[in-house]
């Protein structure tokens, strides 16, 4: 497995690379960590290694503005999962990252065990959103984002090789999806579930990414077709 770690802080890269090798080598086989310290070197690495399994991308790079590098990566190869790394815990940034194609948003303050769980979830095709951020925005409610059995919806699709599509959603995201199917707006969903509209937007963005669609209508249609509702 090849993972590209993009961060301009050498100490952070070295520490995270060591943790990844120690924790993932046993569960994911031999893990090769490639490192880049800028957007420029990251793009060079992408040209040299076109079979990457995952990219861990720092949100704030000196030669990268906002999500421009993420956009370039997803434009070049949409199939590569990209997880954003940041000390920023802004729900709006998380929403923007998911909308731009990120498969997750991992805060640098997370414990190593949480980072590994998040990465394993993303490698399994899931979408990771920091539960602490959602918990704070929900007034203390615990939100799980780990790939536990009761957080996995399995749907059938004739286009997949084994005729199975695995959609991983948290329990809260399932509730949001059902209310989307009822035709409720983000503000209405926020009132029903007693959460802020910004948190609803994060959940909706995660649902769109998980279903690989571009808007709410497509997400509901996908969910109905694949018996997720």
Summarize pLDDT for 75-84 with one digit per residue, the tens: 888 888 999 9
30: which DSSP letter?
A: S
**Cut 0.75: pTM above it:** no
From CA 100, how far away is CA 214, in angstroms rounded? 10
Residue 97, token pair as written in the block? 């990252």
Cβ–Cβ < 8 Å for 4, 45: yes
Per-residue pLDDT at 83: 95
Burial class from Cβ neighbours inside 10 Å (0-12, 13-18, 19+) for residue 19 reads: middle
Q: What are phi and psi of 129, to 5 degrees?
A: -125, 130
Per-residue pLDDT at 191: 93
In this structure, what is the dihedral angle of CA atoms 26, 122, 168, 108, given to the nearest 10 degrees? 110
pLDDT < 50 regions, the chain: 138-165
From CA 209, how far away is CA 227, in angstroms rounded? 17
Per-residue pLDDT at 134: 58
From CA 45, how far away is CA 215, in angstroms rounded? 32
- Helices 186-193 and 171-181: crossing angle, nearest 10°? 130
Half-sphere exposure of 198 (CA within 13 A, CB side): 13
Tokens 């997803």 belong to 74
């Amino acid at each position: 497995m090849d993972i590209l770690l993009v961060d301009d802080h050498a100490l952070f890269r070295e520490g995270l690379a060591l943790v990844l090798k120690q924790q993932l080598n046993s569960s994911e086989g031999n893990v090769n960590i490639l490192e880049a310290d800028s957007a420029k070197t990251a793009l060079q690495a992408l040209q040299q290694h076109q079979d990457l399994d995952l990219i861990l991308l720092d949100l704030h790079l000196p030669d990268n503005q906002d999500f421009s590098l993420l956009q370039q990566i997803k434009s070049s190869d949409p199939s590569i999962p990209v997880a954003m790394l940041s000390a920023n815990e802004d729900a709006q940034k998380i929403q923007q990252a998911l909308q731009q194609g990120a498969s997750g948003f991992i805060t640098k303050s997370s414990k190593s065990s949480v980072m590994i769980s998040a990465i394993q979830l993303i490698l399994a095709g899931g979408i990771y959103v920091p539960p602490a951020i959602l918990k704070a925005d929900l007034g203390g409610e615990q939100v799980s984002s780990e790939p536990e059995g009761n957080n996995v919806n399995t749907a059938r699709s004739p286009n997949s090789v084994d005729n199975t599509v695995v959609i991983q959603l948290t329990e809260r995201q399932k509730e949001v999806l059902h209310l989307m199917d009822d035709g409720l707006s983000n503000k209405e969903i926020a009132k029903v579930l007693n959460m802020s509209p910004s948190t609803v937007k994060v959940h909706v963005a995660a649902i769109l990414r998980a279903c690989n669609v571009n808007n709410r209508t497509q997400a509901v249609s996908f969910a109905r077709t694949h018996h997720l509702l």
